[in-house]
Amino acid sequence: MSLTQVPSGMLQTTAQYYGFKNRVMNGQMQIDQRYSGAVQSPAPSGYSADRWALYKSGSGTWSYQLSSTAPAGFSSSMLLTVTTTETPSSGDYFIIQQPIEGFTTADLAWGTANAQTVTVSAWVYSSVTGTFSGAIRNSATTLSYAFSYSIPVANTWTQISATIPGPTTGTWVGGTNGVGLYLDFCLSAGSSNLTAAGSWTSGSYIGATGQTAWVSTSGATFYATGIQIEKGTQATSFDYRPYGTELQLCQRYCQAINNSSSAYGTVGYAVAFSTNYGIINIPLVVSMRIPPNSLTLSSNSHFMLTNYNTSVAWSSFTLSSSNTTTVNAEIEGTVVSSSLTANYPYVARGNNSTSGLLILSAEL
């Protein structure tokens, strides 16, 4: 059997053919543990689709939803829609942001003489044409690199990219579980949040001068998907990862128990501390970045404690931070009546509700 020599470039990471080249998680916008594709109007202030946060300042409002509108090769995108217009004042901003963990960016060696160049790429689609922008910032938001791109045709998918030279100065966290870098896509911003594109600048800027005021158009839409940051000087094909793998990557930061398919779905195992107070242990499906520090419940009444003889709905539950680890969450709280038996074991489960949703967050 003859052997074919592999071109040497194929074996080098600089050739950009290797897997897991994308430092962005959920760049395909497939995972939405918090909202399962439901419209959120107004858009949440904070995390929306997994790993993607929305932040705004100003009187304008927007809504958020995952959408099935997508360019060839993708099946979903993030959709933002202007619900109240405004003319951005100096300090206003509307951004999509992903904080990327230091462990995921440490090899870029930013802040050193060996700083590596990266290329940001994405597919975008907007009802408003013009110049749009974004930025990369360090964790202290004391150093920013703004980039700009054009959307020349409305309601048409456009692939954009920006190559960013690695910064040899500035404070970057390196290999830690803190924020390695912030990636921002700006939809509108006032002048004090914008700087000239194309160079590293001291200060915190989330976009480039010339940014279109997207939020000034009533009903304006903006879709984004296929977002990637990779080492190298050019954008290459999107780093498609298996759905299960991408979900697990996202679960390092957020884990949701969704009872939509089981009205009595099990949440965890509990013990009654008193007749009206329970402690529940929830094993985490992957080790989280840090012990989760927030718990969101669709409603306490969507859950109960039961020993299959006595069942009682939750009244008020919270995280027990001192006993929660990266692999196990402990939550505790009261139930609606004093019908538990102290020190007895119980099962925490759905309370005959397919709306039950429990979210544990360890986000950056």
Partner 1 sequence: MYKLFKSQVTDQIISVCRENQNNSITSFSFAPESTDYQQFKKDIQNGVELMDSTGTVMTQEQITTFLSTLP
Give the total of residues touching partner 1 (CB under 8 A).
31
Assign 263 to helix, strand or coil: coil
The tokens of 34 are what?
């918090």
Q: In the β-sheet with 179-189, what is the strand arrangement from edge to edge?
A: 46-47, 53-57, 93-101, 179-189, 130-137, 143-151, 200-202
Closer by beta carbon to partner 1, 40 or else 116 = 40
Interaction mask 2-41, partner 1, x per CB under 8 A? --------------------------------------x-
Which of 64, 110, 145, 317 is close enough to bind partner 1 by CB under 8 A? 317
Smallest separation (angstroms) from partner 1 to the CB of 89: 18
Residues with Cβ < 8 Å from 298, sequence gap 6 or more? 355, 356, 357, 358
For residues 118 and 226, give the distance between their C-alpha atoms in angstroms, rounded to a whole number: 16
Shortest Å distance, C-beta 359 to partner 1: 8
CB of 183 to partner 1, least distance (A): 16
Closest separation in Å from C-beta 51 to partner 1:
14
Side chain identity at 34, as an amino acid letter?
R
Distance of alpha carbon 100 from alpha carbon 28, whole angstroms: 16
Does 174 contact partner 1 by CB under 8 A? Answer: no
Q: Tell me the three state secondary structure of residue 300.
A: helix
To partner 1, the closest distance from the beta carbon of 3 in angstroms equals 52
Of 63, 99, 58, the closest CA to residue 213 belongs to 58
Among 155, 266, 296, 339, binds partner 1 (CB under 8 A): 296
Closest CA to 181 of 198, 197, 200, 196: 200
Asked if 294 is part of the footprint of partner 1 (rule: CB under 8 A), the reply reads yes
User: What amino acid occupies position 97?
Assistant: Q
Which residues in 255-274 contact partner 1 (CB under 8 A)?
A: 273-274
Q: Give the one residue of 18, 264, 269, 277 binding partner 1; rule: CB under 8 A.
A: 277
Q: Applying CB under 8 A, which of residues 42, 174, 210, 265 lies at the interface with partner 1? A: 42
> Closest approach of Cβ 197 to partner 1, in Å?
28
Q: Which is nearer to partner 1, 80 or 146 (CB)?
A: 80
User: Considering beta carbons, is residue 139 or 193 the nearer one to partner 1?
Assistant: 139
Say which residue the tokens 């999107």 belong to. Answer: 238
For the bound state, the minimum distance from the C-beta of residue 364 to partner 1, rounded and expressed in Å, comes to 8
- In the list 295, 312, 329, 335, the residue contacting partner 1 (rule: CB under 8 A) is 295
Say how many Å lie between the first and final Cα of the chain, rounded: 52
**Residue 21 tokens, joined:** 């080249």
CB of 277 to partner 1, least distance (A): 4
For partner 1, which residue of 158, 236, 300, 307 counts as binding (CB under 8 A)?
300
340 half-sphere exposure, CB direction, 13 A CA radius: 28
| CA 313 vs CA 191, 261, 301, 316: distances in Å | 51, 19, 6, 10
Q: 115 to 144, contacts with partner 1 by CB under 8 A?
A: none
Which residues form the interface with partner 1 (CB under 8 A)? 40, 42, 44-46, 273-274, 277, 279, 290, 293-300, 316-322, 332-334, 357, 361, 363
